[in-house]
Structure formats: structure tokens, C-alpha cells
Amino acid sequence: MALTAVLRLPARALLRPWALLRGVALGRTEAAAGIRNGARRFGSQHVLVEPAAAAGVAVMKLRNPPVNSLSLELLTELVISLEKLENDKVFRGVILTSDCPSVFSSGLDLRELCGRNPARYAEFWKAVQEMWLRFYLSNLVLVAAINGACPAGGCLLSLTCDYRVLADNPKYLMGLNETLLGIVAPFWFKDSIMNTIGHRATEQALQLGSLLPPAEALQVGMVDQVVPEDQLLSTALSVMAKWLAVPDHARQLTKSMIRQATADRLLKQRDADIQNFVSFISKDAIQKSLQTYLEKLKQKKG
Ligand SMILES: CCCCCCCCC/C=C/C(=O)SCCNC(=O)CCNC(=O)[C@H](O)C(C)(C)COP(=O)(O)OP(=O)(O)OC[C@H]1O[C@@H](n2cnc3c(N)ncnc32)[C@H](O)[C@@H]1OP(=O)(O)O
């Protein structure tokens, strides 16, 4: 099965990601999808996964130019790639980074939020939920090496990781800016940031839709470290070594003890959350807000 065909499958196919992966693996040559110089390496259209220099560590790169917007396809491939690594006994940690210059991820693909029908909105939102649940609860160590701007859904993705290192560049703004688009960050976005930066800082960051430069993101605890851009990957690898020095079973149970309750809040009401999203995003006023925001983004260039 060609990857393009895989990507046209509905989100419910995520329930059987191995069936999809078999298709991906069979559809691509070993050189493209698996083994290069003896090292395991696989990729899909929008996610590149390669072994890092350190044993047991993979680097997962988002590759959806120009700005790594989280489309249904990218979300689906992220989940499949993570699941594949989790099922491969070789890997214990993943460094998540971007293959696009200056942008880690621009967040949810705004084209998925505008002018679609309710069934497509529902399918998309289910994929957003799935990405968050799988990454947030992953038994692997996830370190985000944030090498670009990181707004909204991009920030959410980084918040699923166990540790965040941000490259020191004043253009690399980070935060949940939903209110500035006239939309509302769902409760599990809010939970993710509140568990990271605390209650009071969340009140401000979320209501103001703050996009913080590196020094402020560090100060508030949105990232754990800010480093010169040329040291980003080496720092992420050092951090990973520290986390991998801990026995997996003890670390995994501890992670789950801390995170499961937050994930359960969504797991208990996934369908209601989808319905909420669909009815919210379908409102004329919300559609207008989003269209205006998208147009402003496009005009910025001219
Ligand atoms: C009750 C609760 C219920 C639930 C309520 C609903 C909850 C929804 C939660 C939503 C979460 C989100 O993530 S919403 C997404 C929020 N994201 C953002 O606000 C980021 C917007 N983007 C940016 O700020 C910038 O693009 C940035 C990422 C910094 C990169 O700047 P650059 O100058 O490098 O690039 P640009 O020139 O701006 O962008 C290049 C092209 O990419 C497009 N582009 C940029 N971001 C895009 C995006 N997210 N989706 C699609 N397309 C995007 C631009 O329009 C350009 O298109 P062309 O002109 O055609 O080339």
C-alpha cells in the first residue's frame, strides 16, 4: 500500500496502526524506509525517524514544510512513528525536533479548522486527541529539541515531552496563543500547560495568549533549558543520557503515576470533547475569526 493511500484512511485506522505500518514498510524500499549503513531508519512523508549517535535513542523530525502545521496526515504519521519506536525494543528515548527552518511547529493546521464539514472536523479532532494521548503517555523518554517557533498545537506537542530544550533565538516564540485567534484552548491543552508552569502562570499565559521569547519561556518553566542553537542537539542528547540512566520500569511507572489522571480526564469524555469541538468550530463567528486570522497571516508577507 502506498503511503499516500495510507494517509487517506480514516482516523479510526489509528486503532490498528500496525496494519498501516506493515503497508508503509512493504511499500518502501529498505534504503528509504529501514536500513542505512546498518542502522535502522524509517520515514514517512512528513516524519523522518533516524537513530541518534547514542544507543537506544531516535531522532524524530517533523517535515511538513513550510511551517510544520499539524494536518491530519502529519498527526497520523506522528502517532504511527511513535508507536513503531515503542514497539521496537532497541529504542528507549526519542528526541523530537523539526526539519523545517525556524519553525518547530506552527500548531494545528488552520486549513483543518476552516470550511470543512462536521465529519472531517470530528476526524481531525480525534487525531489531535490521539496524538496528545499517545505522546503524553508514551513509555519512552521524550525530549523536545525546539529549533523554531512553537505556537499553539506546536507548544502542546512539546508539552507532551518529558523535557524541553529551546534554541536561543528571539524569533522562537512559544506558547498557547489560542485566545488571540478568538478560539479557546480545550481543557486538556490547559491541563498540559498548568502541569508544567503552574496555576498562576497559566492564568496569565492562557488568557493573554502569550507567545514568549526564550528567556521568558525559561523563566516561567515552559522550557527546561535554553541553549545556543548549535548546541541544541548535543544538549538534548546529554539530557537524554541522564534520563536513560534510570531503570525504565521504575521511570515508566513513575511517569504514568504522574500523568495518567490528566490523560484520564480526556479519555473519559473523548466523544463529548469531539462533539464540543465540532459545534464550537462550526459556529459562523468562529469561522469568521479564523478566516480573518489566516488572511492576516498571508498578508504579512506582502
Ligand atoms: C470549547 C473548546 C473547543 C475547542 C476549540 C478549538 C481549539 C483549537 C485549538 C487550536 C490550536 C492551534 O494550534 S491553532 C493554530 C495556531 N497557530 C498559529 O497561530 C501560528 C500561525 N503562524 C505563525 O505565527 C507563523 O506562520 C510562524 C509559525 C511564526 C512562521 O512564520 P514565518 O514568517 O516563517 O512563515 P509565514 O509566512 O507566516 O507562514 C508560511 C505559510 O504557512 C502558513 N501558515 C502558518 N501557520 C499556519 C497554520 N497553523 N496552519 C496553516 N497554515 C499556516 C501561512 O499562512 C503561510 O502561507 P502562504 O502565505 O500561503 O505561504
pLDDT digits (tens, 9 = 90+) for 241-279: 999 999 999 999 999 999 999 999 999 999 999 999 999
Bridge-partner residues for 58, per DSSP?
Answer: 51, 94
Distances in whole angstroms, Cα of residue 257 to Cα of each of 83, 112, 264, 285, 298: 21, 34, 12, 41, 44
- Whose C-alpha lies nearest to ligand 1, atom 38? 297
The answer to whether the CB of 175 falls within 8 A of the CB of 218 is no
Whether 71 shows a pLDDT value over 60: the answer reads yes
- Of the listed 64, 68, 147, 177, which one is catalytic? 177
Q: What is the mean pLDDT of residues 188-211?
A: 98
> How far is it, in rounded angstroms, from Cα 121 to Cα 124?
5
Confidence check: pLDDT of 32 > 60: no
Choosing from 75, 108, 140, 157, the catalytic residue is 108
Average pLDDT over residues 61-82: 98
**How much is the pLDDT for 102?**
98
Q: Is 149 in the pocket of ligand 1 (CB under 6 A)?
A: yes
For range 283-288, the mean pLDDT: 96
pLDDT of residue 164: 99
Q: Which domains does the chain have, with CATH numbers?
A: 19-229+251-299 (3.90.226.10)
Rounded to whole angstroms, the Cα distance separating 202 from 223 reads 14
Q: Stretch 208-233: mean pLDDT, rounded?
A: 98
Cβ neighbors of 142 (< 8 A, separation 6 or more) are: 93, 94, 96, 135, 160, 161, 162, 163
Cα 4 from chain centroid? 21
In the chain, pLDDT over 90 holds for what percent of residues?
83
pLDDT at 301: 67
Give the model's pLDDT for residue 18: 34
Which atom of ligand 1 is nearest the CA belonging to 297? 55
Q: Is 102 helix (H, G, I), strand (E, B) or coil?
A: coil
Which of 121, 171, 289, 297 best tests ligand 1's pocket when mutated (most atoms within 8 Å of CB)?
297
Q: Name every residue whose Cβ is closer than 8 Å to that of residue 210 and which is 6 or more positions away in sequence.
A: 175, 177, 204
**How confident is the model at residue 210, as a pLDDT?**
98
Q: In this predicted model, what pLDDT tens digit does every residue of 101-147 receive, in sequence order?
A: 999 999 999 999 999 999 999 999 999 999 999 999 999 999 999 99
* CA-derived radius of gyration, the chain: 18
What is the distance in A from the centroid of ligand 1 to the CA of 193? Answer: 20
Q: Contact 118/278 with Cβ under 8 angstroms?
A: yes
The SS3 of residue 127 is: helix
pLDDT class for 42, splitting at 50, 70, 90? confident
> What pLDDT is stored for residue 40 in this prediction?
62
Distance 109 CA to ligand 1 centre (A): 7
Question: Which among 70, 135, 148 has a CA at the least distance from the CA of 104?
Answer: 148
Ligand 1 in contact with 226 (CB < 6 A)? no
Task: Name the active-site residue from 48, 85, 178, 266.
Answer: 178
For ligand 1, pick from 102, 104, 106 the residue to mutate: most ligand atoms within 8 Å of CB.
106
Mean pLDDT, residues 282-301 taken together: 92
Give the confidence band of 43 by pLDDT, cuts at 50, 70, 90: confident
For 134, other C-beta atoms within 10 Å of its C-beta total 20
The answer to whether residue 23 scores a pLDDT higher than 90 is no
Q: Is there an atom of ligand 1 within 6 Å of 249 CB? A: no
User: Greater confidence, 33 or 229?
Assistant: 229
| Known catalytic residue at 177 | yes
- The whole-angstrom separation of Cα 56 and Cα 36 is 16
How many Å apart are CA 124 and CA 131, to the nearest integer?
11
* Region 58-62 average pLDDT: 98
Q: Is the pTM of this model over 0.95?
A: no
Rounded to whole angstroms, how far apart are CA atoms 48 and 43?
A: 4
Residue 96: pLDDT band with limits 50, 70, 90: very high
Is residue 240 within 8 Å of 143, Cβ to Cβ? yes
Does residue 99 have a pLDDT over 50? yes
pLDDT confidence of residue 26? 27
Mean pLDDT of 92-98: 98
